[in-house]
Structure 1
Amino acid sequence: MSKVFFSIVGTIAAAGVALGGTTLTYDELLQSQEEWTFSTGRRNNQIQIVNGIASCPSCNWGQAAAVTTLSEGILLTNEQDTFTFSFDITTNGTTNAAAMVSFVGETAICLGMSTYNGSINYGTSANVSARAYSFQRAWDNNGDFVQSSGSLGTIGVSETVTVSGAISWKDGQFVLDLSANNETGSIDLGDNVSINNVLLQLDGPNNVSTVPSISNLSMSAYLVPEPATASLSLLGLAGLAMRRRRRQEA
């Protein structure tokens, strides 16, 4: 298994931020076993990640959660900063189950199927110390109840739905725009957004073969450096250019 994939596209500057903006990609996040820690629910279940697919082969009316810390935290503060993501939920035979992805920073942005009727919901939670989040109260003893902001349609039995979203600056704050199954929604997030962890949650009925799965999770962030960082970067690049020129003249 490979570790979490982390690449920076552009000219690398101070503090890992690229001059003029940077793109951070974590397309192989689900391939990592080494950096995952597991928290379990009522029946000691555990999420398994194989070939980029997160599943719960032993789920039996209990919760399973897995969390990873990003190799570099994401902080959106400038109006040009953006964050995008996409992932697939597959019901594997039933909608009487749950599958959620949460992006956790100062708050948790929670997305997925967690109402046991096939609805794809979205919402936020302020209790970021919780080890699990849910749109239904059966998970309250393991984490924080999430009040759903809305729904992105439904998912059927043995169906795969892609959930995607983008955070960008709109009308004086960052807004998350979401889509799934040709339905759209949005969440107001305030004047800054932080993402340090990604939390996966799965829950299923007695028949272990019908537990849903999460796959093809990808994320990217475009971050504009602060003026001080950009100035340091320019000085550093200028120094490198002068050193190279001197070597060529010598």
Structure 2
Amino acid sequence: MKNYLLFISLMLLTSITFGQTINWRNLNTKQKHIISTNIGWDYGLGYGLSYTYQPSSKFPIILNSSLSAPFGEKLLDDFKTKIGAQLPLFKMDYFQIIGKMQAIYRRYESPLVRLQNFGTELGSSFGYYRSKWFVAGQLGFDKAILTHFKHSNSFRQYIYNDVKDGWDEPSSGGNFSYGVQIGYSFNRQDLTLGIGKTINQDFKTIPLIPYYFELGYNFRIIAK
């Protein structure tokens, strides 16, 4: 069962996960809403939709929510939702460091098991931001915290009859990711590209295809 739980944990952590990339140099306080779409490869070909709100505050911050899923699957079977915030941590001329923290809900279903997972994602981007373009490095850590298992009759019949349903803590802690982001901004729009690599927190377990890429589009809406 220990190996089974490890496999399930890795499967959850390798589900589609796309973030939102913002050109902070080009973002102004009147642009309260941002609608984003993206496609890419992150252990599978998938797509994502997200909405970002920029509240009026004494310091710059954005609140975002997103939904991502693999292509070719039923949306209610496999998907991930995230809600969180991003804010600049350091700024000097055109150089900025951006921090983000998000809560994650994941769902995965197969003929053998249905999984529901809660987790967190911490990340940072650091780079050179101009009004028309930017290039930045990216670091992230995605942790699966708690998972609910619901096994099918087929699992009990052919694999393990005494398997238990319910909540369990994953035996694998999480995944680190690192990569590069570039973007081009025009009018109230951004085109972004991110590429990078993922590895398990034990620095030993590597996915079959450990690389990811993401192509994104943002449209910023001015509040009246």
- TM-score calculated relative to the size of structure 1: 0.26
User: Which has a greater percent of helix?
Assistant: 1
User: Which has a greater percent of strand?
Assistant: 2
Work out which structure has the larger RCO, using CA pairs closer than 8 Å and 6 or more positions apart in sequence: 1
Whose Rg is larger?
Answer: 1
